[in-house]
């Protein structure tokens, strides 16, 4: 079986890369939702991006939010990427090969690659990035790379990753967000500058001006491995845009692109003739409460169960979803291979049970007050509705809106007690589960606390090849173990909505990310 897997992997990348690019171009130009493919305006080839949040970290090692991949993908490039079917495809690397036991994987790079600062992108630079991912103090990706022991340089275009154990899930870790490579030269010279104002990668666009907290301007980089298929010449990203002004900005041409678009404005945007993409196959988000079971009051399991029972997900979806959202008790949309339908009946709205559990935990109605941390201008309505739902069972909630930097410090530092947050999935489904439920999980507010049931289920996923007939069953069992033993309470999922101007072609279909190859503006 292992030998047949190795042969399959090698065959995957025997097609000429020109055929892969052609496929991406066809996907990009096929259009969806009324998208057109031509522009006659003076802004042809220019993207004016309205981004409603700040972007405080530009080093891909430091950034934990998967949604940030959409921005980082302009500057940085991964080893591999995914296609519309979720299959791994070439990027900086052209293929991989496992050894006979699945404990080593050798990656083949393209020859002659460089970073945007002219330094070589070779096996040595990949090994350096792997080491930095694993050991840098503020690395947000350590959990994803936990099964990689070390990287061995074989020659300029071949690097071997040595694993703790058989791990057939690793190709997904090498795709997209988790393997975005930064310049070794830039990181060694000043890793703080790389993160704050001087990002250097090997992606399709190079930073020409970055004003922290305000804007970033990027221009097409001719050294990109697929530069001939990059048709966008410049991108300007405006940061901290007031959400209330995004629609009017799109209507008047101040912007021609916006991500994280408000569901309540979808109908108006369509009426204005803008292209609205709200398709779960092109990206979805799930929203959840994170509870820190290492801190009071959530160190009492009955309080955790009371909160779970107090949540009315159908009300959340009805009042906040604008016909696009769906209730969920797990961190995946129903389209994900990791979605386990058996969980749907386990967690139901039961305020009577919630009140009883609180009483058993020693709390009289109204005697418990908990601070809920959120990011300013994000999920305001959701936090207020949750505040009301929890108040109805006797829990007082104080909403604490924070800047992105403040929120990240407490959330990723595991010092917060109770937060409302969202995510847009992960390239690796096991990586997604690890982030939510593992002892090093970046989205596990209770880390390093993790259930032994999840650890056992995770081990089974690791040892199951991606093409094994029972792979999906094993993956879904890990989801069930994670949800049942974890401290995140999933609320609802929704398409990741973005809006483009009329001249945009459609982005290639890649779950939760953007690929710029073939896109026309």
Digit-coded pLDDT (tens) for 116-143:
999 999 999 999 999 999 999 999 888 8
Helices 301-310, 351-360: inter-axial angle, 10-degree rounding? 160
Q: Do 425 and 332 meet the contact criterion of CB atoms below 8 Å apart?
A: yes
Could you write out the DSSP letters of every residue in 171-190?
Answer: HHHTBGGGGPPPPHHHHHHH
User: What's the pLDDT tens digit per position in 251-298?
Assistant: 999 999 998 888 889 999 999 999 999 887 777 788 999 999 999 999
* Residues 199, 110: Cα–Cα separation, whole Å: 22
Residue in the structure block whose two tokens are 């993956």? 475
Per-residue buried b or exposed e for 23-36, using 16+ beta carbons within 10 Å of the residue's own CB: bbbebbeeeeeebe
Q: Quick one: CA torsion of 2, 8, 9, 10, rounded to 10 degrees? A: 110
Q: Angle 66-434-262 (CA atoms, 0-180°, nearest 5)?
A: 30
Checking if the pLDDT of 352 tops 50, the result is yes
Residue 163 pLDDT: 97
Q: Do 244 and 139 meet the contact criterion of CB atoms below 8 Å apart?
A: no
Give the rounded percent of residues in the chain with a pLDDT score beyond 90: 69
Average pLDDT on 320-335 reads 88
Class of residue 137 by CB neighbours under 10 A (exposed 0-12, middle 13-18, buried 19+): exposed
Q: Do 253 and 457 meet the contact criterion of CB atoms below 8 Å apart?
A: no
* Least reliable range by pLDDT among 5-19, 347-361, 385-399: 5-19
Give the rounded percent of residues in the chain with a pLDDT score beyond 70: 90
Enter the tokens of residue 295.
Answer: 């801190």
List CB contacts of 94: < 8 A, sequence separation 6 or more.
13, 17, 108, 109, 110
Q: Do 54 and 405 meet the contact criterion of CB atoms below 8 Å apart?
A: yes
* Residues 322, 317: Cα–Cα separation, whole Å: 8
Checking if the pLDDT of 317 tops 70, the result is yes
Query: Which domains, and CATH codes, for the chain?
Result: 2-31+58-194 (3.90.76.10), 284-495 (3.10.105.10)
Q: Do 188 and 52 meet the contact criterion of CB atoms below 8 Å apart?
A: no
Give residue 511's pLDDT band: very low, low, confident or very high (50, 70, 90). low
Residue 8 pLDDT: 34
List CB contacts of 56: < 8 A, sequence separation 6 or more.
196, 212, 213, 404, 405, 408
Q: Which of 432-441, 480-489, 496-505 has the highest mean pLDDT?
A: 480-489
Which among 201, 119, 113, 202 is positioned nearest to 156, based on CA atoms? 113
User: What's the pLDDT tens digit per position in 412-466?
Assistant: 999 999 999 988 766 678 888 998 999 989 899 999 999 999 999 999 999 888 8
Residue 4 pLDDT: 33
Could you write out the DSSP letters of every residue in 99-139?
Answer: -TTSSEEEEEEPTT-B-TTS-B-SHHHHHHHHHHHHH-TT-
User: What's the pLDDT tens digit per position in 50-76?
Assistant: 999 899 899 999 986 767 888 999 999
CB atoms within 10 A of CB 341: 9
Residue 432 pLDDT: 86
Largest CA distance in the chain: 68
User: What's the pLDDT tens digit per position in 83-111?
Assistant: 877 788 999 999 999 999 999 999 999 99
Report the mean per-residue pLDDT for the chain: 88
Average pLDDT on 354-369 reads 97
Q: Angle 506-507-510 (CA atoms, 0-180°, nearest 5)?
A: 135
Bridge partners, residue 114, by sequence:
120
Class of residue 216 by CB neighbours under 10 A (exposed 0-12, middle 13-18, buried 19+): buried
Checking if the pLDDT of 1 tops 90, the result is no
More reliable by pLDDT, 3 or 193: 193
Give residue 375's pLDDT band: very low, low, confident or very high (50, 70, 90). very high
* Least reliable range by pLDDT among 76-80, 275-279, 492-496, 507-511: 507-511
Q: Does residue 448 have a cis bond before it (omega within 30 degrees)?
A: yes
**pTM for this one?**
0.75
* Residues 148, 170: Cα–Cα separation, whole Å: 9
More reliable by pLDDT, 514 or 270: 270
Residue 24 pLDDT: 31
Residue 512 pLDDT: 61
User: What's the pLDDT tens digit per position in 206-247?
Assistant: 999 999 999 999 999 999 999 999 999 999 999 999 989 999
* Residues 204, 222: Cα–Cα separation, whole Å: 8
Give residue 13's pLDDT band: very low, low, confident or very high (50, 70, 90). very low
List CB contacts of 283: < 8 A, sequence separation 6 or more.
424, 425, 495, 496, 498, 511, 512, 513
Residue 35 pLDDT: 34
Q: State the pairing for strand pair 284-291/418-423.
A: antiparallel
End-to-end Cα spacing for the chain:
46
Q: Do 360 and 304 meet the contact criterion of CB atoms below 8 Å apart?
A: no
What is the strand order of the sheet 418-423 is part of?
326-327, 488-495, 284-291, 418-423, 368-375, 395-402
More reliable by pLDDT, 153 or 42: 153
Checking if the pLDDT of 22 tops 60, the result is no
More reliable by pLDDT, 301 or 82: 301
CB atoms within 10 A of CB 305: 18
Q: Do 306 and 395 meet the contact criterion of CB atoms below 8 Å apart?
A: yes
207 phi and psi angles, rounded to 5 deg: -70, 130
As a whole number of Å, the CA-based R_g of the chain is 23
Which among 236, 245, 241, 202 is positioned nearest to 218, based on CA atoms? 236
Q: Half-sphere exposure of 292 toward its Cβ, with a 13 Å CA cutoff? A: 20
Residue 206 pLDDT: 98
Residue 19 pLDDT: 31
* Residues 142, 504: Cα–Cα separation, whole Å: 37
């Amino acid at each position: 079986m292992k030998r047949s897997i190795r042969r399959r992997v090698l065959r995957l990348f025997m097609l000429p890369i020109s055929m892969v690019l052609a496929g991406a171009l066809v996907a990009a130009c096929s259009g969806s939702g009324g998208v057109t493919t031509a522009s006659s305006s003076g802004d042809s080839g220019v993207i004016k991006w309205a981004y409603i949040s700040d972007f405080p970290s530009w080093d891909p090692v430091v950034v934990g939010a998967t949604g940030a991949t959409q921005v980082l993908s302009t500057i940085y490039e991964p080893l591999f990427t995914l296609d519309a079917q979720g299959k791994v495809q070439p990027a900086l690397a052209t293929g991989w090969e496992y050894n006979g036991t699945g404990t080593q994987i050798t990656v083949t790079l393209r020859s002659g690659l460089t970073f945007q600062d002219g330094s070589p992108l070779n096996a040595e630079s990949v090994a350096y990035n792997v080491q930095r991912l694993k050991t840098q103090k503020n690395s947000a990706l350590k959990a994803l790379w936990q099964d990689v022991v070390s990287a061995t340089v074989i020659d300029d275009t071949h690097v071997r990753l040595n694993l703790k154990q058989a791990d057939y899930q690793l190709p997904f870790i090498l795709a997209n967000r988790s393997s975005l490579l930064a310049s070794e030269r830039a990181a060694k010279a000043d890793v703080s500058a790389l993160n704050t104002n001087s990002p250097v990668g090997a992606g399709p666009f190079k930073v020409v001006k970055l004003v922290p907290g305000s804007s970033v301007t990027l221009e097409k980089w001719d050294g990109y491995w697929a530069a001939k298929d990059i048709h966008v010449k410049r991108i300007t990203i405006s940061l901290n845009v007031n959400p209330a002004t995004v629609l009017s900005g799109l209507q008047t041409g101040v912007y021609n692109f916006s991500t994280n678009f408000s569901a309540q404005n979808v109908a108006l945007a369509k009426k204005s003739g803008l292209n609205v993409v709200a398709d779960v196959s092109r990206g979805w988000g799930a929203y959840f409460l994170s509870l820190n079971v290492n801190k009071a009051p959530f160190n009492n399991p009955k309080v955790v169960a009371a909160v779970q029972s107090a949540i009315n997900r159908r009300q959340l979806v009805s009042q906040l979803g604008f016909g696009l959202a769906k209730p969920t008790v797990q961190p995946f949309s129903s389209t994900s291979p990791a979605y386990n339908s058996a969980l749907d009946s386990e967690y139901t709205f039961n305020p009577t049970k919630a009140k009883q559990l609180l009483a058993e935990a020693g709390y009289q109605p109204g005697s418990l007050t908990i601070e809920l941390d959120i990011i300013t201008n994000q999920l305001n309505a959701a936090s207020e509705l949750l505040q009301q739902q929890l108040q109805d069972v006797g829990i007082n909630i104080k909403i604490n809106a924070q800047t992105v930097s403040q929120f990240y410090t407490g959330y990723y530092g595991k010092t917060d007690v109770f937060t409302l947050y969202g995510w847009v999935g992960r390239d690796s489904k096991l990586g997604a589960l690890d982030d939510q439920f593992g002892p090093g999980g970046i989205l596990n507010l209770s880390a390093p606390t993790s259930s032994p049931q999840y650890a056992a289920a995770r081990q089974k996923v690791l040892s199951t090849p991606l093409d094994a007939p029972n792979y999906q069953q094993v993956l879904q069992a890990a989801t069930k173990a994670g949800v049942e033993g974890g401290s995140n309470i999933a609320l609802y999922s929704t398409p990741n909505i973005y809006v483009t101007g009329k001249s945009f072609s459609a982005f290639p279909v890649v779950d939760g990310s953007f690929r710029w190859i073939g896109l026309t503006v």
